Amino acid sequence: RGGPRVAGAVVSGAGMAAAAARGCPPAGSGDRALAELLLEFSRAQYRAKDGGGAAVERIERRCLELFGRDYRYSVIPNVHGEVCAHYPRHIVFLERDAGASRDSFESTVQVGKLQDLINRSKMARCRGRFVCPVILYKGKHICRSATLAGWGELYGRTGYNYIFSGGSDDAWADAEDISEEDSALRNADSQLFDKVRGHDIKLLRYLSVRYICDLMVENKKVKFGLNVTSSEKVDKAQRYADFTLLSIPYPGCEFFKDYKDRDYTAEGLIFNWKQDYVDAPLSIPVSLTQSLNIDWSEYQSWDLIQQTQNYLKLLISIINSDDDSGLLVHCISGWDRTPLFISLLRLSLWADGLIHTSLEPSEILYLTVAYDWFLFGHMLVDRLSKGEEIFFFCFNFLKHITSEEFSALKSQRRKSLPPGFTLEEICMLKQKDRGSTTSLSSDFSLGMESSPGATGSFTYEAVELMPAGAQAQAAWRKSCASSPQAVLWSRAQQSEDRLSSTGMVEVKSSSSSSSTHSDNFLRIGSSPLEVPRSRLVSASDRESRLEEVRSAFLASYSRTIGLKAVPPSPSGAIGGLLEQFVRGVGLRGSSTL
């Protein structure tokens, strides 16, 4: 069974599991536990040094118990916020699957050395929010952090955790009135950055992180005329040149007020990329985009749904690569955009049966809300007061990633396909000849079997395929060109990456408003509280699991926090949608805990 270790010392797994479970809601009370969590979350921001009382302690223990179901883990103590004020008091480091054999994926990191590197490197990043591993997938660490601290934070004040005021990513405190260009400080400045960022790089390398995905729309955050934060992509000394840097600009939490003001509708909501402070272009190595069939030059014309979908596809593709390298995702402070994508990654991989395999939908929902959002410092109270509802968007967005297009299993299967045919084409062959699992023509034979990679899910996987010549393949494709599926896939192929020969996709502007083909798959309803309807055909296991998570979230959210009313619109008032949902799941609008 899973069991924790504290600061490198082994502790009894059974004893700690029992201790973690004490005070946790009993089995079958998942709805009540989530409601309690949401109420606490909406009451105050979590701060490690504040403790938080009995309710917060129950949340912390519940997270440890849920991690322990599937993983052997260690705990890095942060009881008084001494490591980071806005990180959990018990930072979980996942080592391996609890029931895994010796041949399975296992982290090679020693928690004692990890803790030492964390203590040395924490000043390198904004608010002391260091690189922290939060998901273990195939032996790879998926990490989160804030962006690099800039000159203003390092020199502005001592006590780096308090240099910024609380609030949104834009709420930066004043720094000392010293110019970064002051020549007397240039040498000391360079030496300090060498030391601090050097420790950050050692931590990244120790965690085997190769890919760094930067969600900032700025190269550097500027406030009061000073660069108060920086980022790896603009490090003047090129200290991060050995890493694969991806600039994937994504709107900050302020943009989600527009989402709320549009009746919580993300369709057609496009960020204004022409604002003065937006200076970070999209930049992705070509090698990471070639298999995705996404025209990245169009990114400035994508609406919020398309942009989130395409970025998630990119992240899933990266972690499914053949190497053993980990991934870091960060924005500015690391508590809005970062938990959005960390949470979506965790839920997507869980829905595929690849991580947290023993957790039920209500349990994985609790874990990601509590750990990825609440305990890592998302300021829900502040965001709700400003209408910046990125937290609600995250879980309502699950309805847009139920397709196999977002499945990590599909990416794994695609690697084993023979050249000349895509997975979609093979599935079309299967669809045309449902009565046979053998030859569909005299040119090749095909076998299908269920994939053992996902718990309870059924997928097609090529087992035996003897490809025909290129002419026969072309003839078959031509014969299928009239089918809707073939037309759609044909369009996808036609939109193959039109990329530069420099090995990097770098896009600064776009004159086209067309969307990528991914939009054709997933536009299912626009109501934020639309109850998932019964389908005429059986939904995939992935789809049903994600829909169950979304439904559980909406039900609990409606009973605790609720959506803020907006002025009536042609699409109807949000209050009516809320009431419609509450009736649909058998609740009453006045329900209380």
Q: Which residues are known to be catalytic?
A: 331
In whole angstroms, what is the distance from residue 168 CA to residue 188 CA?
A: 31
Residues 263, 267, 268, 274, CA torsion sign: positive
CA atoms within 13 A on the CB side of 420: 14
Q: What CA–CA distance (Å, rounded) separates 427 from 476? A: 14
Instruction: Supply φ then ψ for residue 84, to 5 degrees.
Output: -155, 130
Sign of dihedral through CA atoms 228, 229, 230, 236? positive
Longest dimension (CA), the chain: 80
User: How far, in Å, are 19, 29, 37 from residue 368 at the CA level?
Assistant: 21, 17, 11
Tell how strand 90-97 and strand 71-77 pair up: antiparallel
Nearest to 236 by CA among 287, 194, 205, 182: 194
Rounded Cα distance, 371 and 374, in Å:
6
Please report the sign of the dihedral spanned by the C-alpha atoms of residue 517, residue 343, residue 364, residue 1. positive
Integer angstrom CA distances of residue 79 from 12, 47, 380, 589: 20, 10, 22, 39
CA–CA separation, 299 and 249 (whole Å): 10
Of 282, 294, 313, whose CA–CA distance to 510 is shortest?
282
Compute the distance between CA of residue 13 and CA of residue 101 in angstroms, rounded to an integer. Answer: 17
Residue 412 structure tokens: 């794994």
Q: Which two three-digit tokens encode residue 222?
A: 């500027």
Angle at 152 between CA 146 and CA 157, to 5 degrees: 100
Amino acid at 585: V
Yes or no: say if 374 and 392 are a contact pair by the CB < 8 Å rule. no
* CB-facing half-sphere around the CA of 566: CA atoms within 13 A: 19
Nearest to 215 by CA among 99, 326, 331, 102: 331
